[in-house]
Amino acid sequence: MTSRVRPRPKVVTLTEAAAGRVKEIMANSDKAIIGLRVGVSNGGCAGMSYSMEYAEENNPLDEVVEDKGVKILIDPAAVLFLFGTEMDYKVEKLSSGFVFSNPNQTSACGCGESVSITPAALPPEFTSETDQHKDA
């Protein structure tokens, strides 16, 4: 029996605008940056908030995603909260910033700084073949 390896889906993807802005910010950094660390943290009136920071090193358990020339590092505890998220960069008349379009987000507070997120169900690509057939 031959097995074929399917590519793993990306936990987070970037729009062209977001990738361009991240590259611009990283190019202007005084530090040696290897990528962008994206995650979630507890807090705010809705329960969680998105976090972003420069990544100077790769932690051994990080989920590493490369999209449009940008390396994104995701803490393993945040993977199921961020699975399927698209990160965009919006410029409007009075503000600009990164915007997360997350299919797991169930609500947000009025100020837009915190969100409520339900962890995604683990997709078949992330489970073993044994787990997929044990109910059969």
Residue 56 within a domain: yes
Residue 6 within a domain: no
Q: What's the CATH code of the domain at 66?
A: 2.60.300.12
120, 124, 128, 130 alpha-carbon torsion, rounded to 10°: 120
Separation CA 48–CA 113 (nearest Å): 9
Residue 3 within a domain: no
Residue 121 within a domain: yes
**Residue range of the domain that includes 41:** 12-130
Residue 2 within a domain: no
Total number of domains in the chain = 1
Report the predicted TM-score, pTM, of the whole model to 2 decimal places: 0.76
Residue 1 within a domain: no
High-pLDDT (> 70) share of the chain, %: 81
Quickly tell me which residue has 């992330």 as its tokens.
Answer: 126
More confident residue, 118 or 71: 71
What band does 83 get if pLDDT is binned at 50, 70 and 90? very high
High-pLDDT (> 90) share of the chain, %: 49
Nearest to 126 by CA among 27, 45, 10: 10
Task: Give per-residue pLDDT as tens, 20-78.
Answer: 999 999 999 998 899 999 999 887 776 788 899 999 999 999 999 999 999 999 999 99
Has residue 6 got a pLDDT over 80? no
List, in sequence order, the alpha helices (H) in 1-136: 16-27, 79-82, 129-133
Q: Which residues, listed in sequence order, are joined to residue 36 by a DSSP beta bridge? A: 54, 72
Residue 45 within a domain: yes
More confident residue, 58 or 5: 58
Contacts of 43 (CB under 8 A, 6+ apart): 49, 114
Residue 83 within a domain: yes
Q: Where are any strands of DSSP class E within 1-136?
A: 12-14, 35-42, 48-55, 63-67, 70-74, 85-91, 96-101, 105-108, 115-117
